[in-house]
């Protein structure tokens, strides 16, 4: 039996876990849709774009071909690169959580499907960059946008022990990526995936709020066991 306090490496998703990017992402999708004359007035219907790789979301939601998907992503980035990227907010309590983990000398990294160039700009803008040993995302061409592939890459790149690693994320892709790499998954229920999605995908823990996530990371208690 072991407690969460024994895990030395903490990987965090970005969108829906550290920050709430809804406004910027949905506006960028709406911009792309306008180029295809597709009505997308209700941002609620576009929340599915928060978390998964963009190519997957465009194909699943609009049935785009490979060529149209590439063009849609290009349009999306026309808006996102300078405007949508900062239409974003840090979840209350996240800074305190990261400060606590840092004080416990945990190694903290970002593992996001968002291109790493965008992730780095966002974290720097919100003064969160200082907390992370490494910030990793996909390439602009979509390479390593699959979370399992990304985590596997980080394990190899930094000689990480999966059995000492936690992945915190708000969508099933985060939990699937964790399970496939023998990493412990914590579902962030305050983001854009619900409890069923996260637990069905293999989460070992579910944190419905940032406060409850902080409680899980309160290592003064030895009552939170993992079998």
Per the model's pLDDT, the better-predicted residue between 55 and 2 turns out to be 55
Write down the pLDDT at residue 4. 87
Mean pLDDT across 152-173: 97
Pairing status of strand 225-226 against strand 2-3: antiparallel
Write down the pLDDT at residue 2. 61
Whether 127 is catalytic: no
Return all residues near 212 (Cβ < 8 A) that are at least 6 apart.
none
Write down the pLDDT at residue 222. 45
Q: How far apart (Å, rounded) are the C-alpha atoms in residues 153 and 147?
A: 10
Write down the pLDDT at residue 220. 52
Pairing status of strand 9-12 against strand 165-169: parallel
pLDDT in tens, 55-71: 999 999 999 999 999 99
Extents of the domains making up the chain:
2-20+89-226, 22-86
Query: Which residues sit opposite 205 in a β-bridge?
Result: 186
Say if CB 204 and CB 185 are below 8 A apart. Answer: yes
- The model scores a pTM over 0.75: yes
CATH of domain 22-86: 1.10.150.240
Q: Which of 13, 15, 20, 146 is catalytic?
A: 13
pLDDT at 226 over 80: no
138 closest CA partner among 158, 111, 161: 111
Under CATH, what is the fold of the domain 2-20+89-226? Rossmann fold (3.40.50)
Domains 2-20+89-226 and 22-86 share a fold: no
| Helix-helix angle 66-80:54-62, to 10 degrees | 120
Element (H, E) at 196: helix 195-200
Write down the pLDDT at residue 223. 42
pLDDT at 227 over 90: no
């Amino acid at each position: 039996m072991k407690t969460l306090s024994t895990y030395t490496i903490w990987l965090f998703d970005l969108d829906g876990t550290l920050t709430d990017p809804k406004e910027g992402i949905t506006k960028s999708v709406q911009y792309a849709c306008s180029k295809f004359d597709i009505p997308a007035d209700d941002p609620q219907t576009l929340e599915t774009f928060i978390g998964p790789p963009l190519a997957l979301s465009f194909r699943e939601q609009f049935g785009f071909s490979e060529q149209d998907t590439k063009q849609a992503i290009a349009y999306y980035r026309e808006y996102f690169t300078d405007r949508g990227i900062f239409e974003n907010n840090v979840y209350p309590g996240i800074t305190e959580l990261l400060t606590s983990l840092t004080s416990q000398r945990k190694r903290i990294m970002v593992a996001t499907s968002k291109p790493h160039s965008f992730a780095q700009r966002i974290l720097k803008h919100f003064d969160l960059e200082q907390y992370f040993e490494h910030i990793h995302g996909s390439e602009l061409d979509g390479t390593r946008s699959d979370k399992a592939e990304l985590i596997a890459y980080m394990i190899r790149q930094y000689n990480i022990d999966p059995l000492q690693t936690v992945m915190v994320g708000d969508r099933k892709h985060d939990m699937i990526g964790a399970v496939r790499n023998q990493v412990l998954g914590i579902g962030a229920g305050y983001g854009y995936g619900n409890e069923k999605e996260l637990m069905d995908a293999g989460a070992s823990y579910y944190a419905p709020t940032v406060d409850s996530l902080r409680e899980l990371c309160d290592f003064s208690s030895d009552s939170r066991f993992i079998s």
